[in-house]
Amino acid sequence: MALLDVVAAWLLVAIWFVAWEAVTARLDRSRNEGGWLRAPVRIYVVEALLLTLLATLWFASIGSGGWPLVFGFIGLLMEWPGPVRHGLRAEDGSWRAFVRVASGAVRVVGAAGLVRWWVG
């Protein structure tokens, strides 16, 4: 796997994360105070780098079998602690918190799918 492939996959995942966040921030107006993103872009770029490095390591060494399940668990590990620490039953209800956690896990699986598609 060439370094150029990893960098290109990183850019794809960064675009995926920023686009995903822009759409979900627009749909979830209760957590968005007027901005088009909930965090600075650099946060999503660094998150994309870390996930891309993990995904390329996974696909280059361990294999490709069961990757949606693995990255689904990673997505849950990334998204679940925040709502649990702050109380899953927030004022917007537990259903919306569940949807945020589930959509965050889907976001990570989608990013891993992009890396798998790009680096093969």
Chain centroid, CA 114 distance in Å: 11
What's the pLDDT score for residue 16?
94
Round to whole Å and give the CA distance between 75 and 107. Answer: 7
Of 118, 108, 104, the residue nearest 38 (C-alpha): 104
Higher per-residue confidence, 120 vs 33: 120
Look up residue 43 and give its amino acid. I
Look up residue 34 and give its amino acid. G
Of 22, 23, 14, the residue nearest 42 (C-alpha): 14
Owning domain of residue 70: 3-119
Round to whole Å and give the CA distance between 56 and 95. Answer: 34
What pLDDT digit, counting tens, does each position of 10-57 carry?
Answer: 999 999 999 998 888 777 665 556 567 777 889 899 999 999 999 998
Cα four-point dihedral sign 36, 10, 8, 60? negative
What's the pLDDT score for residue 103?
87
Contacts of 77 (CB under 8 A, 6+ apart): none
| Mutual angle of helices 41-57 and 67-79, in 10-degree steps | 150
Overall domain count for the chain: 1
What pLDDT digit, counting tens, does each position of 58-101 carry?
Answer: 888 877 678 888 888 988 888 877 666 555 555 555 677 778 88
